[in-house]
Structure 1
Amino acid sequence: MKIIQTLQSDFKTNTVVTIGTFDGVHIGHKKIIERLVSSAKKNNLKSAILTFFPHPRMVLQKDPSIKLLNTLDEKAAILESLGLDYLVVKKFTKAFSRLSAEAFVSNILVDTLHAKKVIIGYDHHFGRNRTANINDLRDFGKKHDFQVEEITAQDINDVSVSSTKIRTALENGDIQTANSYLGYHYMLNGTVVHGKGLGKQIGFPTANLYIAEKYKLIPRHGVYVIKAHIENETFYGMMNIGTNPTVNETDTQSVEINFFNLQASLYYKKLTVCMLHRIRDEQKFNSVADLKIQLQKDKNAALQYLQTHANN
């Protein structure tokens, strides 16, 4: 898969295009992407998704509270695994939002992406003030010689329902439900940075994960069973998301991982952590000794889970 972030006029490939944010790339999205890829192959074309970044709400509403299920890199990796040929990332700006529907179709879909078919939702709106709809797109298709294929209300509803359920599940710490709708394990990507070293002092050294993308949705505070692929090996562990209330006097959120049977230094390495199961809420203990006792219980619970879920 090729990622295109600068829309250049020398792009010569004829495409089948769909448009959307595709946040989470969950099971509802996959039906649409499979349809896109299949149509492209059948017609000897290339499949392309046109997406926008930053998220339009970040730009138009200046909404700092919006949280996304995928970072751009995560989205790209998942889409590549589904056989997509091109991920086209258009920088979303206020100026772009003012582009007329006709200019959007002519300049981007036709002149830049050479679309021969556009697969789009029945309720899709586009152009300045989102005034154009699928019927307008069909008219543009006749003018510019491309087909328009409609995604049904049922399929659009599946996407919407799945996204809502995934977000709600993650906010509630229900990783099992989130993963079932995603079709894969919810992931956190970040760089291992130095912490205070308190975990090491009590026999549970942790890798502190710094996640640069502040828009990434972090699940509910608590302790989770996780796995990570490090240098072609899979390692398991437990992860705490929260503020470490027993030893921390601030409300700063941290993501800390205690890997089982891993001694190597991970400082400054980039990790992809997959979330498998939730053990408990984060809680404040009366002493560090009590915390240490609970961490051993958490480790035992995690190992028991892994024994009974060998395929994770």
Structure 2
Amino acid sequence: MQLLTETSNITFCPSVATIGFFDGVHRGHRYLIEQVREVAAARGLASSVITFPVHPRKVMQADYRPELLTSCEEKVALLAETGIDYCMMLEFTPEVARLSAKQFMHILKERYQVQVLVVGYDHRFGHNRSEGFEDYVRYGQEMGMEVLLAHAYSSGENITVSSSMIRHFLQQGNVSSAAECLSYNFFLEGTVVGGYRVGRKIGFPTANLRVNDPDKIIPADGVYAVYVFLDGVRYGGMLSIGYRPTLANGTDRSIEVNIFHFSADIYNQPMRISFVRYMRPELKFDSVEELIARIRQDETEVKTVLEK
């Protein structure tokens, strides 16, 4: 996949394209992109995804926190896995927000050489969201752009696969259902930072993660079975998200993972955590001894999950 921006010094290839924010690049997105690739192959054209680096609502509302499933860099990496030829990264600005659907489509046609636009079954664009698919078809006919309506994705279950539904699952700690919708385990990427160093004292040293993108959603507080990726190597681990109520050693929400069979110094190193299963909520114990006993139980249960 070739990543293109508005400043890319190239001549854009005629393509079949679809447009959206594609947060998470979930199963529904992948189904839409597969339809784009099929149409492109049938027409002898390149296949393209048009997306934005920043959530459009955040551009228009500075204090809006989108709770992203993926950072821009993560989204691009996931889009590359779909087999699409091009990812066109457009800056969403207040000026773009004021464009009508027809004006925006004209830019796609003339500047970016979009010959066929595949529209998601429930997607609307342009400042006047009252316009719909029939309007897009009419505008396309006027400017020589074919507009097609994508088929809706069906999971075969009574679950609507959407970015908002996946966020809901993560807010509940339901990383298993989130993974079903995403087609991969939800993950966090960041840097290992110093913590309170209490874990080492009680026999369970932890690596504390500072997430790269402050707008990325953090799953609900609790204990999780996870995989940890360091320098391309995967380790099993048990992760805790929360405020350490038994230890009462701070008010900051922490993301800390005990990595199984690992003891190297990894401060300031990049780390990726992939969520496998929610194990239990964060609990306050009456003593440190009770906490240690429960962590030992957690370790046994998490290892059983990861061995399956």
The TM-score with structure 2 as length reference comes to 0.91
Q: Identify the residue that residue 203 of structure 2 maps to in structure 1.
A: 203
In structure 1, how many angstroms separate the alpha carbons of the residues matched to 2:176 and 2:90?
Answer: 33
Judged with a 3 Å threshold, the aligned counterparts in structure 2 of structure 1 residues 153 and 235 are, in CA distance, closer, same or farther, namely: closer
Judged with a 3 Å threshold, the aligned counterparts in structure 2 of structure 1 residues 155 and 55 are, in CA distance, closer, same or farther, namely: farther
Q: Identify the residue that residue 129 of structure 1 maps to in structure 2.
A: 128
User: 275-284 or 145-154, which moves further after superposition?
Assistant: 145-154
Matches within 5 A, 1:34-183: 34-62=34-62, 64-107=64-107, 109-152=108-151, 161-163=160-162, 164-183=164-183
* Partner SS state of residue 128, structure 1: coil
Q: Identify the residue that residue 294 of structure 1 maps to in structure 2.
A: 294
* Partner SS state of residue 49, structure 1: strand
Judged with a 3 Å threshold, the aligned counterparts in structure 2 of structure 1 residues 261 and 63 are, in CA distance, closer, same or farther, namely: same
Name the aligned partner's letter for residue 28 of structure 2.
Answer: G
The TM-score with structure 1 as length reference comes to 0.90
* Partner SS state of residue 128, structure 2: helix
In structure 1, how many angstroms separate the alpha carbons of the residues matched to 2:85 and 2:254?
Answer: 37
In structure 1, how many angstroms separate the alpha carbons of the residues matched to 2:249 and 2:266?
Answer: 26
Judged with a 3 Å threshold, the aligned counterparts in structure 2 of structure 1 residues 303 and 154 are, in CA distance, closer, same or farther, namely: closer
In structure 2, how many angstroms separate the alpha carbons of the residues matched to 1:271 and 1:249?
Answer: 24
Name the aligned partner's letter for residue 136 of structure 1.
Answer: D
In structure 1, how many angstroms separate the alpha carbons of the residues matched to 2:3 and 2:288?
Answer: 48
In structure 1, how many angstroms separate the alpha carbons of the residues matched to 2:153 and 2:63?
Answer: 29
Q: Identify the residue that residue 229 of structure 2 maps to in structure 1.
A: 229
Matches within 5 A, 1:214-253: 214-253=214-253
Structure 1 residue runs of 5 or longer lacking an equivalent are none
- Percent of aligned pairs with the same residue? 34
In structure 1, how many angstroms separate the alpha carbons of the residues matched to 2:141 and 2:22?
Answer: 27
Name the aligned partner's letter for residue 139 of structure 2.
Answer: F
In structure 2, how many angstroms separate the alpha carbons of the residues matched to 1:268 and 1:277?
Answer: 27
Q: Identify the residue that residue 20 of structure 2 maps to in structure 1.
A: 20
Q: CA deviation at 1:86?
A: 1.6
More helix by share: 1
Q: CA deviation at 1:18?
A: 0.3
Name the aligned partner's letter for residue 54 of structure 1.
Answer: V
Q: CA deviation at 1:123?
A: 4.2
In structure 2, how many angstroms separate the alpha carbons of the residues matched to 1:8 and 1:145?
Answer: 25
Judged with a 3 Å threshold, the aligned counterparts in structure 2 of structure 1 residues 15 and 199 are, in CA distance, closer, same or farther, namely: same
Name the aligned partner's letter for residue 252 of structure 2.
Answer: T
Q: CA deviation at 1:5?
A: 3.4
Aligned pair count reads 307
